Amino acid sequence: MKLQILYRGPLASCNYACGYCPFAKREDDRAARTQDQQALERFVQWVENQAITDNIQILFTPWGEALVRRWYRDAVVKLSHLPQVTKVAIQTNLSVPPDWLAQANIQRTAIWATYHPGETPRKRFIAHIKKLSTMGVACSVGIVGKKEHRAAAEQLRNDLPEHLYLWVNAYKDEPAYYSEEDIRFFKAIDPLFEINLNDYASFGEACQSGYRSVTIDGEGDVRRCHFVSPVMGNIYQQDIREILNPAPCPKACCDCYIGYIFLDKLRLEEHYGDRLLERIPLAFQSTGMSLTLQAHDFGSPRKKGQKQSQDYRSL
């Protein structure tokens, strides 16, 4: 079995207070933290019980910041050493120094790090990124493309090692937010910016979610992706192979990276290879070369005035 799993437990707390994030400075009480830890440890045990010949790739997509919790660091380390796990990656603000990864199998571990201007000193964030590079841990770095982040994004690109990809998440909470000049600016930072800027018509489209990729929550409930609510089954009550089922997308639109990457029509594996989950393009997996992409490769940009809600903690 080859399967990509996006895991999101009940954890909802974050140590940052970003204005564009609904979970900023939210705190989980002790009971909630215990519930989250138990759920995660149960999931890790489930993975360990799968056939050692399986090929399981895991991306943790927490609502809040997970690596400040010891059990997430322990889970990444343990999963990275399991024979059936070929990749374990996690979305993080990288506020925790990455030294703990010295215990992990770095050949199977990846970090998806987001820089939040105003929440952490840039020099400290860069120091953590450079530590990851020194350790040999695969990493992509990102920033939310708000206009007031332009200077920060440019400085971040200048400060990062050349071989690391810097992605920019399009800010979509305001209609017609970007001018043509804004788009040119962010494309100079992230040559793949227009992929994320677009919203993709997805209803009835073939998608790998539901049979090659699924999301699993703290209860073990399986959904085809984070943006489709119906539960397909439960890993603690059924064999996962009985749950997986290909089906066309039921949503009208897909605008989030961890959703549209599974749409067959976009063929994004041509640009990311086997690094889709950790968001590292092929061009940055071995060199720091730039990318030249045509906008028509990814459909039409979102229409002016069109507003689509966006979960920035998922990106």
207 phi/psi in degrees, rounded to 5: -145, 140
Mean pLDDT of 90-110: 96
Longest dimension (CA), the chain: 53
pLDDT of residue 122 exceeding 70, the answer is yes
Residue 22: the pLDDT is 60
Residue 16: the pLDDT is 72
Beta bridge partners of 85: 56
- CA dist 260 and 245 (Å) reads 18
- The 10s digit of each residue's pLDDT in 194-229 is 999 999 999 999 999 999 999 999 999 999 999 999
Query: Which of the pair, 290 or 214, is modelled with greater confidence?
Result: 214
pLDDT band at 51 (very low <50, low <70, confident <90, very high): very high
8 A C-beta contact, residue 110 and residue 138? yes
Mean pLDDT of 141-148: 96
Q: Where are the alpha helices (DSSP H) in the chain?
A: 30-48, 70-81, 122-135, 150-159, 180-189, 193-197, 240-243, 257-260, 269-272, 283-286
Would you tell me how many other CB atoms lie within 10 Å of the CB of residue 215? Answer: 24
pLDDT band at 315 (very low <50, low <70, confident <90, very high): very low
Residue 305: the pLDDT is 35
pLDDT of residue 14 exceeding 50, the answer is yes
pTM: 0.89
Residue type at 23?
F
| 3-class SS of residue 109 | strand
pLDDT of residue 301 exceeding 80, the answer is no
Mean pLDDT of 79-90: 98
Looking at 28-42, 161-175, 281-295, which range is the least confident one? 281-295
213 phi/psi in degrees, rounded to 5: -145, 135
8 A C-beta contact, residue 114 and residue 146? no
Query: The tokens of 301 are what?
Result: 């940009």
Contacts of 198 (CB under 8 A, 6+ apart): 255, 298, 299, 300, 301, 302
8 A C-beta contact, residue 146 and residue 171? yes
Domains of the chain with bracketed CATH:
2-284 (3.20.20)
**Phi and psi based region of residue 25 (left: phi greater than 0; alpha: psi -120 to 50; beta: remaining):** left
Query: The tokens of 184 are what?
Result: 């040119």
Query: The tokens of 294 are what?
Result: 């045509």
Place of tokens 């119906």: 230
Query: The tokens of 97 are what?
Result: 């120094």
